A and B are shown apart, each in its own frame.
Chain A
Amino acid sequence: EAAVTQSPRSKVAVTGGKVTLSCHQTNNHDYMYWYRQDTGHGLRLIHYSYVADSTEKGDIPDGYKASRPSQENFSLILELASLSQTAVYFCASSGAPSQNTLYFGAGTRLSVL
């Protein structure tokens, strides 16, 4: 069974602090993604990666960095967390996304206070 594991599952951060969200997949997939989910916006792509040591900007990359140190791991970094970054964050992995399905992690609920 394909598996994508996110940590932490929830986090409370202070405005201006640094937050790192981690994602680990055991699917041997090349593609990994970070999405955020907000009420009324559905899922929006923040960053993605199709090979280790390389990341690409998605649709809403401002205020976020990403790191893909290995095929299995993909992190999302908020250097200076802001109130507007309160959301649920989902990591996902896939083979070639044109035909393969995305496997999602359980999500991380981030609250920035």
Chain B
Amino acid sequence: AQSVDQPDAHVTLSEGASLELRCSYSYSAAPYLFWYVQYPGQSLQFLLKYITGDTVVKGTKGFEAEFRKSNSSFNLKKSPAHWSDSAKYFCALVSGGSNYKLTFGKGTLLTVTP
């Protein structure tokens, strides 16, 4: 069975600092990995995805993520962080087989202080 772990429930940093949100996964085959963001009171929006190819993928809003097969991680990064980045971030994994479904981590609540 597949799983996604986001070990940090809450991250706080100052505006202008670099942010890195951690995500690790467990899956026996090649993973398809995604990051989504949920702003306060809103639904989820797509940020970026890794399917294959370059291990550093760039997404919307200046975010990027690095896929590391060696330690099964897919960390989200941005520098510098802005107060408007304050939101909840979800890492997700697509499992394959005959039926596809997306498994989400529990999310990391990011607070960027001005």
- Chain A: residues with CB nearer than 8 A to chain B? 31, 33, 35, 40-45, 48, 50, 56, 58-59, 90, 92, 96-99, 101-107
Contact = CB atoms under 8 A, between A and B. Distances in A.
B106 A41 contact: yes
Give the 5 A-B residue pairs with the shortest CB-CB distance, closest first.
Answer: A42-B106, A101-B46, A97-B100, A43-B104, A104-B43
Interface in B52-66: none
B43 A90 contact: yes
A99 B48 CA distance: 11
B44 A104 contact: yes
Interface in B80-112: 90, 94, 96, 99-107
B9 to A, nearest CB: 8
Given A33-B102, A58-B101, A98 B46 contact: no
A31 B100 contact: yes
Interface residues of B, number: 23
Nearest to B100: A97
A58 B103 CA distance: 10
A98 B94 contact: yes
Given A43-B90, A50-B99, A56-B99, A99 B51 contact: yes
Contacts of A59: 103
A98 B43 contact: no
A101 B34 contact: yes
29 contacts: A35-B104, A42-B104, A42-B105, A42-B106, A42-B107, A43-B44, A43-B90, A43-B107, A44-B104, A45-B101, A50-B99, A50-B100, A56-B99, A59-B103, A90-B43, A92-B44, A97-B100, A97-B102, A98-B32, A98-B96, A98-B100, A99-B49, A101-B49, A102-B46, A103-B46, A104-B44, A104-B45, A105-B43, A106-B42
Contacts of B49: 99, 101
Contacts of B6: 42
Nearest to B43: A104
